[in-house]
Amino acid sequence: MFGSNLLPNLGEVVAMILFGIGFANLLLQKNLIKKIIGLNIMDTAVYLFLAIKGYIEGRTAPIVVNGVQEVEAYINPIPSGLVLTGIVVSVSVTALMLSLTVRLYRRYPTPDLDGISSRLKKEGI
Amino acid sequence: MAIFEYILMGFLVVCAISVSFSKNLLNSILIFMSYSLVMSIIWILLESPDLAITEAAVGAGVTSVLFFVTLKKIHALGEEDEETDE
Amino acid sequence: MSRKISEEEYRRQRIVRMKRWLSGEKDLYLDNMEVIPRSEYKPDRKQMERYEHDLDEVMSRTYDTEHNRVYRFFQRFYKMAAVLCCIVLILILIVEVSYLPPVGSASNPASNEVAAKYIEDGMQDTGAVNIVTGMILDYRAFDTFGESNVLFIATCTVLILMRNDKKKGKGSAEDEERRDSFYEPKKDAILQMGARILVPVIMLFGIYIILNGHLSPGGGFSGGAIIGAGLILYLNAFGFEKTERFFTEKTYKTVSFGALLFYCLAKSYSFYTGAHHLESGIPLGTPGAVISSGLILPLNICVGLVVACTMYAFFALFRKGGF
C-beta atoms of C315 and B73 within 8 A: no
Nearest to A61 among B28, B48, B63 (CB): B48
C132 close contact with B: CB closer than 8 A: yes
Mean pLDDT across the stretch C56-70? Answer: 79
pTM of structure: 0.83
pLDDT given for residue C175 in this prediction? 58
Q: What are phi and psi of B57, to 5 degrees?
A: -75, -40
pLDDT category, C170, cuts 50, 70, 90? Answer: low
> What are the structural domains of chain A?
10-123 (1.10.287.3510)
Handedness of CA A113, A114, A116, A121 (dihedral sign): positive
pLDDT surpassing 50 at residue C6? yes
pLDDT given for residue B53 in this prediction? 93
What digits encode the pLDDT tens for the residues C173-202?
Answer: 445 555 666 666 677 889 899 999 999 999
ipTM score = 0.88
List helix spans (H) across B1-86: 2-21, 25-45, 49-57, 64-73, 79-85
* Distance from the B70 Cα atom to the nearest Cα atom in chain A, whole angstroms: 7
How high is the mean pLDDT in each 10-residue block of chain A (125 residues)?
84 94 93 94 95 88 83 88 93 94 85 82 72
pLDDT surpassing 80 at residue C66? no
pLDDT surpassing 60 at residue C28? no
pLDDT given for residue C309 in this prediction? 93
Separation of alpha carbons C281 and C285, rounded Å? 12
pLDDT surpassing 70 at residue C77? yes
Separation of alpha carbons C11 and B79, rounded Å? 77
Chains in contact with C, where contact means 3 or more Cβ–Cβ distances below 8 Å, are A, B
pLDDT given for residue A84 in this prediction? 92
pLDDT given for residue C313 in this prediction? 92
* Distance from the B41 Cα atom to the nearest Cα atom in chain C, whole angstroms: 15
Q: Which residue of C has its CA nearest to A120?
A: C63
pLDDT given for residue C34 in this prediction? 63
What digits encode the pLDDT tens for the residues C116-169?
Answer: 888 888 888 888 889 899 889 888 888 899 999 999 999 999 999 888 766 555
C-beta atoms of A20 and C287 within 8 A: no
A22 close contact with B: CB closer than 8 A: yes
C-beta atoms of C100 and A12 within 8 A: yes
Give strand pairing partners of C287: C289
What digits encode the pLDDT tens for the residues C269-322?
Answer: 888 887 777 777 777 778 778 888 788 899 999 999 999 999 999 998 888 777
C-beta atoms of C103 and A12 within 8 A: yes
- The one-letter amino acid code at A60 reads T
C-beta atoms of C318 and B70 within 8 A: yes
Let me know: does C178 contact C168? Beta carbons within 8 Å. Answer: no
String of DSSP letters for C162-184: H---SSSS---HHHHHHHHHHHS
pLDDT category, C30, cuts 50, 70, 90? Answer: low
pLDDT given for residue C236 in this prediction? 87
Nearest to A77 among C65, C132, C144 (CB): C132
Which residues in chain A have their CB less than 8 angstroms from residue C104's CB? 8, 55-57
- The one-letter amino acid code at C148 reads S
What digits encode the pLDDT tens for the residues B1-38?
Answer: 789 999 999 999 999 999 999 999 999 999 999 999 99
| CB neighbours of residue C81 within 10 Å | 12
B53 close contact with C: CB closer than 8 A: yes
Mean pLDDT across the stretch C86-91? Answer: 94
Residues 6+ apart with CB under 8 A from C222: B50, B53, B54, B57, C209
Let me know: does C213 contact C303? Beta carbons within 8 Å. Answer: no
C-beta atoms of A81 and C132 within 8 A: yes
Which residues in chain B have their CB less than 8 angstroms from residue A38's CB? 20
pLDDT given for residue A123 in this prediction? 76
C209 close contact with B: CB closer than 8 A: yes
- Across the B:C interface, residue pairs with CB atoms under 8 Å apart total 43
| CB neighbours of residue C116 within 10 Å | 14
Let me know: does C296 contact C134? Beta carbons within 8 Å. Answer: yes
